[in-house]
A = this chain, B = another copy of it.
Amino acid sequence: MALYVQKYGGSSVADAECMRRVAQRVFDTQKAGNQVVVVVSAMGDTTDDLIALAKQVNPEPDEREMDSLMATGEMASSAILTMALHSLGAKAISMTGQQAGIQVDGTHLKAKIEKINPSRIRQHLKQGYIVVVAGFQGMNPDADVATLGRGGSDTTAVALAAVLKADRCQILKDVDGVFTANPRVVPTARKLDEIAYEEMLELASCGAEVLQSRAVEFAKNYNVVLEVMSSFEVKPGTLVREENKQMEQMIIRGIAADKNQAKVTLLSVPDTPGVAAKIFKALGNAKVNVDMIVQNVSAAGVTDISFTVAKDDLNKTKRVVEPLVRDIRATGANFSDDLAKVSLVGVGMKSHSGVAFKMFDVLAANKINIEMISTSEIKLSVVILAKDTDRAVRALHEAFGMGVRARQAKAAPKKKTARR
C-alpha cells in the first residue's frame, strides 16, 4: 500500500463544486489502494479577502493577529473538503496544523517548520481515514498559530510527505505540470516529464510560479519525490526529483521570466573599500533583498554600481539609497522599474559551453538590449526592458529547440507515431 500526500491549491477548492470534484479525486486515489493525506489551501480568494478586511481596521496589522486570522481560511477549507468526502461515503477527518502535529518556530507570517509529530495522522491512516490537513500553518512554542508565508501549503505537504515517508507528494494545480516556458506566452511550450530539484529551484527563484522555492528546497533536502499535476484532469504531471541518468538529456530545461524587477544605479561612486558594504548593509537592515549586483569597470577612481531589487521593494529602496548618495560621495542615483529578468535554466549547462553566447546572439538578432547579466552553474539570467520580455522568451525557446513543434519535427522521422 502506497502513501500519497496530495496538495490542492486555492483555485482547485474555490467553491462547493470544486470541493466535490477534489473529494472524488482524493477518494479515487484511496480506492486505488493507497493511503492518502490531503493538504488544502484556503478556498479561492479567501486569504486575500481576509487580508483586505484586516487592512480596513488597521493598515499595519499585528503579525500574530494576521496569522490567527489567515489560518482560519485553511481550517475552514479542510472541514469543507472532509464533509464533501463524507458525502461520497469516504472515511475522512480534518486536522488543523496544530492537530496534525506541525510545530513551527516563533516567526510570524513566515514561520519555519521545526518538527512534526505525526502520531495523530498515523493513527487515523491506520484506521482507514483520509486525513485532510489545513495547509500553511503550525503551532509555535507560545501555543499560537503561525503561518508559513507564500506557498506555505506546498511546504506543509512536502514536510508531511517527508516525515510520513510518503511514496509521492502530488501538488495538484490548475496547470498540467512544469513547462519549458509559460504556455500563455509561448504556445509551443512543452510539459516536462521530469525536472531536477536544482533546476526547479532556479526556475522558481527566477519567476516561474508553479512551485515555491521553499517547498522545493524542503523536498530536495528530504528527497521527497514531487509531482506537479493537473487537479482537473487525471494524467501524469511533472516529476521533480534528484537528477539521474534516466532523465531526458536537455541542455536547457526551462525559461523563466520575472517582471517584478527594478534596477538601481549609483553613479560615480568612489572606488574605495567598504563603500559597497555600506550600501548593502543598509539595504539588508531594511529587509530589501538584492538580487543581481554589477559593478562597472572603474575609471578615474570612480565606478557605477547597479543592482536589482523586487519592484515592490523599490520605494523602500529609494528611502534607503537616497540619503546614502551624499554619504558615500556618489554623484547621484538612477531608479528604473520597467525591467524584467529572463533566465535559462538547465543542469546540462554544466557540461555545455556556448549557451551564453547563443543567448546573447539571439537577443541581439531580435534587437533586445541586455542591461545586466548574471550566471550560476545551471542558470543564465539577463535583465532587459520589460516590454521585450515575451518576445525574448519566445525567441530563446525557439532557438534552443525546446518547443513541441521543434521537437516533433526532429523526432518524427525516427519514431512511429503512437495511436491517438
> Which A residues are within 8 Å of any B CB, using their own CB?
16, 19-20, 23, 50, 53-54, 56-59, 61-62, 64-66, 68-69, 71-73, 75-76, 78-80, 82-84, 86-87, 93-94, 96, 99, 143-144
Q: Which DSSP category, helix, strand, loop or mixed, fits chain A's interface?
A: helix
Known A-B contacts A16-B57, A57-B20, A87-B57; the reply to A79 vs B94 at CB < 8 A is no
Bound CA–CA A305/B86 (angstroms): 42
**Residue among A19, A23, A65 with max Cβ neighbours from chain B (10 Å):** A65
Report the minimum CB–CB distance from A103 to chain B (whole Å).
14
**A96 partner residues in chain B, CB cutoff 8 A:** 68
Q: Which of B57, B79, B83 contacts A80 (CB 8 A)?
A: B57
Q: Is A79 a contact partner of B99 (Cβ separation < 8 A)?
A: no
Does the CB pair A76–B80 fall under 8 Å? Answer: no
* Shortest beta-carbon distance from A266 to chain B in Å: 38
Q: Determine the residue in chain B with the shortest Cβ distance to A43.
A: B53
Neighbour of A94 across the interface among B23, B65, B83, CB < 8 A: B65
The reply to whether A68 and B72 contact each other, CB–CB distance below 8 Å, is no
Establish whether residues A57 and B69, one from each chain, have CB atoms under 8 Å apart when the complex forms.
no
Across-interface contacts of A144 in B (CB, < 8 A): 99
In the A-B complex, list the 4 residue pairs whose CB atoms are closest, starting with the nearest.
Answer: A16-B56, A69-B79, A72-B72, A58-B87
In the assembled complex, the CB of A74 is this many whole angstroms from the nearest CB of chain B, namely: 9
Are B72's CB and A86's CB within 8 A? no
**Do B80 and A143 touch across chains, with their CB atoms under 8 A apart?**
no
Residues A83 and B65 in contact, CB atoms below 8 Å apart: yes
Whether B99 contacts A83 by the Cβ 8 Å rule is no
Q: Which residues of B contact A68 (CB under 8 A)?
A: 75, 78-79, 94, 96
The answer to whether B62 and A80 touch across the interface, beta carbons within 8 angstroms, is no
Question: In angstroms, how far is the closest chain B Cβ from the Cβ of A44?
Answer: 12
A72 cross-chain contacts in B, Cβ below 8 A:
72-73, 75-76, 79
When the two chains form the complex, which single residue of B19, B50, B57, B143 contacts A57, counting CB atoms closer than 8 Å?
Answer: B19
Evaluate whether A57 and B84 lie within 8 angstroms (CB atoms) in the complex, with A68-B94, A94-B65 already known. Answer: yes
